[in-house]
Structure 1
Amino acid sequence: MRAGKLQARIQIERLQELVNDNGLVRKVWLPILTTRAETKEAGTTEFLLREIEGDKARAVFLIRWPAQPIGTSDRITHAGKVWNITSLSEIGRRRGLEIRAEAVA
């Protein structure tokens, strides 16, 4: 993974529960990681799924291996858009992470 291709700045957020002084619990998205990523166009499979499932924007983000674990319950914010993580794939042996995501409507 070449550093020159990691041109997009993304933030990975996790849904967490916060308790205020009155004991009320509220759920908020808190950032767990800010990193650089390479964005790729969706492949053939995503293109075909788009025709079947409707017009959902999909993207693939490639990042270096994160120090903190990331899961499909997390989300990405990039360029003012929110993306739900749909799948994760390891690149090499902990060299990087391929994140497939779907834009939130």
Structure 2
Amino acid sequence: MRAGKLDRIITIDAYTAGEPDEYGNSVPGWNGFATLRAQLVSMSTDEYLRAYGEISESVIVFRTRFLDGVTTTHRVGYEGRHFNIKEVKEIGRRKGLELRCEEVRS
């Protein structure tokens, strides 16, 4: 993996129970897990019909250096947008990761 191709900066966030509020209840949220340099491999938007209507889905693939512990329970932040990780593939023998992500719709 060439360093020059890693021209984007992404953040990996982990969902946590969070800190208790003034009433003692835990407030869940996303906290930073890692900040990485990555390569944007592909980005596409597909529109199709589902049982509940027409939807559009944005899929994006990032390649980055290997980081132990990244799973599909994490999400990626990139350019102010958030993407759920749908698939994590190891490249080589702990050389890199390929993250296939889907945009979070709010």
Report the TM-score when normalising by structure 2.
Answer: 0.84
**Per the alignment, in what secondary structure is the counterpart of residue 17 of structure 2?**
strand
Q: Deviations over 1:69-89 (max 9, x none)?
A: 011010000001100000010
The equivalent residue for 2:52 is none
Deviation of the 1:63 alpha carbon: 0.5
Structure 1 position 60, deviation (Å): 0.4
Partners of 1:36 and 1:19 lie apart in 2 by 29
Alignment pair present for 1:72 and 2:81:
no
Residue in 2 aligned with 1:13? 13
Aligned equivalents of 2:38 and 2:18: distance in 1? 29
Give the 3-state SS of the residue equivalent to 2:32 in structure 1: strand
Whether the 8 Å contact between 2:42 and 2:62 is mirrored in structure 1 is: no
SS in 2 for 1:25: coil
Gapped runs of 5+ residues in structure 1?
none
Gaps of 5+ in 2: 50-54
Identical residues among aligned pairs (%): 33
Structure ranking higher in strand proportion: 2
How far off its partner does 1:51 sit?
A: 5.0
User: What does residue 37 of structure 1 align with?
Assistant: 38
What is aligned with 1:95?
95
Residues of 2 paired with 1:18 and 1:104: CA distance? 21
Structure with the bigger percentage of helix: 1
Which is worse superposed, 70-79 or 54-63? 54-63
Check if 1:58 corresponds to 2:92: no
Deviations 1:3-30 (A, max 9, x none): 0000100000000012325421110100
TM-score, normalised via structure 1 length: 0.85
